[in-house]
Amino acid sequence: MLVKERMNRIMEKASTDQLLITDPYAVYYLTGKWIFPGERFLGLLLKRGEEPVLFVNELFRFEEELGVKKAYYADTDDVISIVKKETEKNSPLGVDKILEAKFLLPMMEQNIASGFVLGSEAVDETRAVKDKAEQELMRKSSLVNDLAMEQFRYLLKDGITEKECAAQMLDIYRKLGASGYSFEPIAAFGKNAADPHHMPDDTVLQEGDIVLFDVGCVVDDYCSDMTRVFFWKKEPTEIQKEVYNLVRKANETAEEMLKPGLKLADVDKTARDIITAGGYGKDFTHRLGHFIGLQDHEKPDVSSTSEYISREGNVFSIEPGIYNPDAAGVRIEDLVLITEDGHEVLNHYPKDIEVLG
């Protein structure tokens, strides 16, 4: 049973004999069951050599057998004391990185374990290596994203705003078989492209604008994420071309080197050095990429401090960018899968300079 194997892999990596997982995505990964408890407590307690226990509010009661013991609680129960019944008080507890203080501080007060350490790295490292079925779903999600990008360019027309443009993307994704966005789409026109996390606003498309689409969807629970940049109705200026080609070179050079056994900080450095050599180092203000799977942003990241060594089954983004309002804002992003002896770029939408309109 797949799920059992995943739990075993996690406990092999875990530094504690008991691990409390509270992230709904990790709970799905380990049980095949989606439970989104909102502000209520959800926890999967893995104990070395014992049956896992799933703590669920009785509002989310379900029938399926998941190979875990179910421990239901009510809104009026003290859930911490219910968790305490199942933990080993004399042993440290690994906790999820997203466990909230409203649960963690009372757990400490009630001494449900002898100590508390961050424990979800073992989960993240397991999730970072996609199995064959997951790889296929990642391909599928990115294929839908490629097809959607092909349609998004036709949303552009004189007078349209970023918001109006972004508002039409969900329908396109759904018609292509996606269940929704993997994140709120970024549509940025002109100088807004030089803001890496711009949220679509009422900016109107103008002749000569750069158009940046950073978009992704969810297909069969797995996420895609891609960025492309277009030029509206005018050939790019020399400086826009320079910035575009520099980002493209950083993107492609980093992708081409990918294979198992690389330190990800070195991949970040390769892309960053190209942009720095081109004179825009200070305008590349973020990490090169992030892992992705059930969630748009998974661990680890591809940054200058990432000690992670690439392995077959990793899927992450390669997304260098230059954000210079005086020159141009450009980011080019693909998802890449690490294969047995190299890599596979999951996005196929072209990167040549395209003038639309």
Residues engaged in binding a copy of itself (CB under 8 A): 38-39, 58-60, 74-76, 95-102, 104-105, 116-118, 167, 174, 196-197, 285-287, 297, 301, 303-305
Nearer Cβ to a copy of itself (220/242): 220
Q: Shortest Cβ distance from residue 315 to a copy of itself (Å)?
A: 17
Q: Shortest Cβ distance from residue 290 to a copy of itself (Å)?
A: 9
Q: Shortest Cβ distance from residue 303 to a copy of itself (Å)?
A: 6
Question: What are 271's two structure tokens?
Answer: 């892309």
Q: Shortest Cβ distance from residue 316 to a copy of itself (Å)?
A: 15
**How many other C-beta atoms are found inside a 10 Å radius of the C-beta of residue 118?**
13
Nearer Cβ to a copy of itself (84/297): 297
Strand partners, 161: 204
Instruction: State the DSSP H helix or E strand holding residue 101, giving kind and residue range, or none if neither.
Output: helix 101-109
211-242 burial, b if ≥16 CB within 10 A, otherwise e?
A: bbbbbbbbbebbbbbbbbbbbbeeebeeebeb
Nearer Cβ to a copy of itself (296/312): 296
Question: What are 345's two structure tokens?
Answer: 């770029």
Nearer Cβ to a copy of itself (103/244): 103
Question: What are 190's two structure tokens?
Answer: 């002109």
How many angstroms separate the CA atoms of 73 and 43, rounded? 11
Rg of the chain over all Cα atoms, to the nearest angstrom: 23
Q: Shortest Cβ distance from residue 9 to a copy of itself (Å)?
A: 21
CA atoms within 13 A on the CB side of 250: 35
Q: Shortest Cβ distance from residue 81 to a copy of itself (Å)?
A: 14
- Does residue 97 contact residue 86 with C-beta atoms inside 8 Å? no
Nearer Cβ to a copy of itself (330/343): 330
- Does residue 196 contact residue 154 with C-beta atoms inside 8 Å? no
Nearer Cβ to a copy of itself (102/234): 102
